[in-house]
Structure 1
Amino acid sequence: MKFIVLAILILTLPDLYIWFSFVRGNVGLVWKILYWVPLLATLMCIGFALMGVHQPLLLKLFFMLLLCIAIPKLLFTVVSLAGRGVGLLLPAAAKIGNWTGVAVSFVSIGIFIYGLTSGWKELVTKEITVTSADVPEAFNGYRLVQLSDIHIGTFIGNEEFVQRLVKEVNDLHPDLIVFTGDLVNSSADELDNFMEILPQLRAKDGVYSILGNHDYCEYHHYDTPDGARSNLREVIRRERGFGWDVLLNEHRFIHRGTDSIAIIGVENEGKPPFPSFADLPKAMKGVSDDVYKILLSHDPSHWRREVLPETDIQLTLSGHTHAMQLMIGNFSPAQWAYREWGGAYQEDKHMLYVSLGIGGTVPFRFGAWPEINVITLKRPE
């Protein structure tokens, strides 16, 4: 509830500042009424969500209002107030602050409009080489593709994007495909339109997947007490129907002659409010110390919390953050919430790679473009 109150204040205060400073005495009645429509619509979307109404169109409307109106107003307010503060010493700074605030807000509107209309389709392929003396000789040059955070419900009506994703992955001819969670947004029926597309993913050693926080289907209102659990079972059933091997706190070995590597998959392990069902010791039971280990764990914070201090796992693959679907240069607001939020991180023999993922609960991306991650295992030369 404290978060909701804080969010409402952040949404409302910039409107009040702009109203009393620039609008109230300078426009006619019709414009005065229209001025408050976006804020009221945003607050109504929040109200519907609190009442358990989770409609995709309402979610999209909320994010459009948030990104294209509320945040630009907030940015203008911050810059304008900063100008007024400096203006106490240098009077001209107040006017400069206002015009700078206008410029910043319009730039942000342009960024958000691009992200909502085109950025979410800017699919890129990123390649990384993981060099380790622990890689078995037979796996030197082994190529795996990591996909993460598809959030398939966001692409309903844009099935051609998912078909393009599948084709681009298959054209890479990977040895292995791993999916590190969040296939759906909130319910299994989001997969209905993709039942013939996702099974087309192909790799020599198959497709392995794990669950992300959204796959537990708890962000949805159900009429029955077991609605979320029933949807979770259906998500798992459908993934297995695709031919994907869903790892639920377990592992698999991949063999090349007498050499092998272990693919370890845990259920979601996150800090509240995210669900935590991972059992890493169980998943690793039967995996010897001398095997090269690849862990699939949706939330990257699991790496520092348990993987680093308690295991000898050489490579961990995660997703979850999406870089908050916004990057400008090397900056993303995700770094305020996660120590490891995107790309490769190394500590001694341990590496974490965090994919920025494919989708999100809203079709928006800027800078943090949807990505296919190609990871090649190499031995030192």
Structure 2
Amino acid sequence: MLRWIVFVIIYFILGFYTLQALKTATRFPWVYYVFIAMSLIVLGNFIFQFTWGETAGRVLSRPKSYAFGFLVAILTFKIITIIFLFSEDIFRFITAGYQKFFGTAREFSLPERRRFLSLIAMGIAAIPFGALLYGMVRGKYNFKVLKYKMEYEDLPPAFDGYQITQISDIHSGSFDNRGKIEYAVDLINKQKSDVIFFTGDMVNNKAEEMKPWAELFSSLSAVDGIYSILGNHDYGDYVIWETEEEKIKNLDELKQMQKEMGFDLLLNESRYLVKEEDKLALIGVENWGRGGFRKSGDLKKAASQIGKDDFKILLSHDPSHWEDVVLKDKYHYHLTLSGHTHGMQFGIEIPGWVKWSPVKWRYKYWAGIYEELGEFINVNRGFGFLGYPGRVGIWPEITVITLKKKDLT
């Protein structure tokens, strides 16, 4: 209760400060009233969704996600506006002290200056505010196909030109537009890859979230099949179950659903992909994440049936597993495919120029291709979304990787 009281007090302080900027920048009272009404509605909805309106067992329900998204948008607008005005207040405080002690009559702060800064502050604050709203309406379904060509000296000859499609982090419990998901599934099939890999987090919490979408994702097809692994959200660890048996049953239902969808779920297991006289070793581990994340992944068990000299592709949901375990393993894993980070669903990416997201402060390997010790990892930015119901700058991704035999001549 105390946390809510402190939060509401801070929220109103930020709102009051921002309201002063509005009053300085414009003389139309209706603007103030719209801002006050919007602030109260956003706050009221957020409190309701996360207290009395909470549905048991659905901690990441769509209403709660949107309540959180609108709160983030309006807080961003307020905070950026306040940063500008606070700097002006510091300036006025210093100049007032200068006038007091040195007796100068010079006017350091004019009303016109304050109004100009208010306009600039709100203009700049409106950019991320608008971007966050756009991300909730359209950005979350702005699917991008990212294509990579990866060369290896020891790639088996028959797999020269072999094409892989990777998707990750479906988070079906967050979907709210069937037409957009149908478009994305069709886009995956249009890549006509040899094989499709799904690297975990099919749901937010419960297997039932995937039921409305299972038939649609069953239409995915590839010559050599569809292989999948589990992500941290697939185990049901983030909801309260009445009994442990109920939680186990939920996971079993998700596993069975993937089987019925045509996904070959790898649970610390391996398979061989065979082409002519050559083969690739495919290894899939259960979730293993640094810190407080579940550590069910057992790399040694998963790779126990493959040879040391095999060309290896590893499916592992969390890229911290690659950094902490895979790179230190005695086996050489040519390519690891991960997801998990979502690129935080927010950032700036201009190919060849800028690649930034706050998630880089948490994960060293957070989006795209990385190389360490001659091994590669691709961290997929995710197919769906979670928490904030949108994406800004970090768009939903379908990865297409073509394996090539490196020409040594």
Q: TM-score, normalised by structure 2?
A: 0.83
**2:278 matched residue in structure 1:** 259
Q: Does 1:306 align with 2:325?
A: yes
Q: Tell me, in whole angstroms, the C-alpha distance in 2 between the residues paired with 1:326 and 1:371.
A: 13
Give, as a single letter, the amino acid of the residue that structure 1 aligns with 2:228: S
Deviation of residue 116 (structure 1)? Answer: 0.8
Give, as a single letter, the amino acid of the residue that structure 1 aligns with 2:72: L
Which one of 100, 110, 119 corresponds to residue 130 of structure 2?
110
Give, as a single letter, the amino acid of the residue that structure 2 aligns with 1:164: Y
Q: 1:322, 1:356 within 8 Å by CA — same for their partners in 2?
A: yes
Q: Tell me, in whole angstroms, the C-alpha distance in 2 between the residues paired with 1:71 and 1:281.
A: 46
Give, as a single letter, the amino acid of the residue that structure 2 aligns with 1:341: W
Q: 2:60, 2:204 within 8 Å by CA — same for their partners in 1?
A: no
**1:215 matched residue in structure 2:** 234
Which one of 352, 355, 375 corresponds to residue 350 of structure 1?
375
Q: Does 1:19 align with 2:16?
A: yes
Cα 1:308–1:144, aligned 2, differ >3 Å: closer, same or farther?
A: same
Deviation of residue 12 (structure 1)? Answer: 5.1
Q: Tell me, in whole angstroms, the C-alpha distance in 2 between the residues paired with 1:355 and 1:20.
A: 40
Q: 1:81, 1:97 within 8 Å by CA — same for their partners in 2?
A: no
Q: 1:83, 1:96 within 8 Å by CA — same for their partners in 2?
A: no
Deviation of residue 20 (structure 1)? Answer: 5.5
Deviation of residue 106 (structure 1)? Answer: 1.0
Q: Does 1:127 align with 2:124?
A: no
Give, as a single letter, the amino acid of the residue that structure 1 aligns with 2:281: A
SS in 2 for 1:72: helix
SS in 2 for 1:100: helix
Q: 1:357, 1:370 within 8 Å by CA — same for their partners in 2?
A: yes
Q: Tell me, in whole angstroms, the C-alpha distance in 2 between the residues paired with 1:232 and 1:17.
A: 44
Deviation of residue 134 (structure 1)? Answer: 2.0
Which one of 262, 268, 292 corresponds to residue 273 of structure 1?
292
**2:400 matched residue in structure 1:** 374
Deviation of residue 42 (structure 1)? Answer: 2.4
Cα 1:102–1:173, aligned 2, differ >3 Å: closer, same or farther?
A: same
Deviation of residue 95 (structure 1)? Answer: 5.9
Which one of 38, 44, 49 corresponds to residue 42 of structure 2?
38
Cα 1:138–1:82, aligned 2, differ >3 Å: closer, same or farther?
A: farther
Q: Tell me, in whole angstroms, the C-alpha distance in 2 between the residues paired with 1:378 and 1:262.
A: 16
How many residues are paired up? 377
Q: 1:163, 1:197 within 8 Å by CA — same for their partners in 2?
A: yes
Q: Tell me, in whole angstroms, the C-alpha distance in 2 between the residues paired with 1:47 and 1:252.
A: 47
Cα 1:338–1:85, aligned 2, differ >3 Å: closer, same or farther?
A: farther
Q: Tell me, in whole angstroms, the C-alpha distance in 1 between the residues paired with 2:221 and 2:338.
A: 21
Deviation of residue 306 (structure 1)? Answer: 0.6
**1:323 matched residue in structure 2:** 343
Percent identity, please: 34
Q: 1:175, 1:204 within 8 Å by CA — same for their partners in 2?
A: yes
Deviation of residue 23 (structure 1)? Answer: 5.3
Moved more, 301-310 or 65-74: 65-74
Deviation of residue 267 (structure 1)? Answer: 0.6
Give per-residue Cα distances to partners, 1:152-186, cap 9 Å, x unaligned: 12224x22222222211112111110000011111
Cα 1:33–1:121, aligned 2, differ >3 Å: closer, same or farther?
A: closer
Q: 2:58, 2:205 within 8 Å by CA — same for their partners in 1?
A: no
Structure 2 segments unaligned to the other structure (5+ residues): 24-28, 96-107, 350-354
Moved more, 176-185 or 307-316: 307-316
Q: Tell me, in whole angstroms, the C-alpha distance in 2 between the residues paired with 1:226 and 1:67.
A: 37
User: Over aligned residue pairs, what C-alpha RMSD do you find?
Assistant: 3.0
Q: Tell me, in whole angstroms, the C-alpha distance in 1 between the residues paired with 2:87 and 2:281.
A: 55
Deviation of residue 347 (structure 1)? Answer: 1.4
Larger Rg: 2
Give per-residue Cα distances to partners, 1:328-354, cap 9 Å, x unaligned: 232212112111110010113101100
Q: 1:54, 1:221 within 8 Å by CA — same for their partners in 2?
A: no
Deviation of residue 188 (structure 1)? Answer: 0.9
Give per-residue Cα distances to partners, 1:225-265, cap 9 Å, x unaligned: 33322211111110011111100011101112221111111
SS in 1 for 2:212: helix
Q: Does 1:206 align with 2:232?
A: no
SS in 2 for 1:277: coil
Q: TM-score, normalised by structure 1?
A: 0.89
Cα 1:367–1:8, aligned 2, differ >3 Å: closer, same or farther?
A: farther
Q: Tell me, in whole angstroms, the C-alpha distance in 1 between the residues paired with 2:207 and 2:56.
A: 22
Cα 1:32–1:127, aligned 2, differ >3 Å: closer, same or farther?
A: closer
Q: 1:53, 1:221 within 8 Å by CA — same for their partners in 2?
A: no
Cα 1:294–1:98, aligned 2, differ >3 Å: closer, same or farther?
A: same
Cα 1:86–1:134, aligned 2, differ >3 Å: closer, same or farther?
A: farther
Cα 1:352–1:97, aligned 2, differ >3 Å: closer, same or farther?
A: farther
Q: Tell me, in whole angstroms, the C-alpha distance in 1 between the residues paired with 2:325 and 2:48.
A: 41
Cα 1:32–1:340, aligned 2, differ >3 Å: closer, same or farther?
A: closer
Q: Tell me, in whole angstroms, the C-alpha distance in 2 between the residues paired with 1:59 and 1:371.
A: 24
Which one of 161, 168, 172 corresponds to residue 152 of structure 1?
172
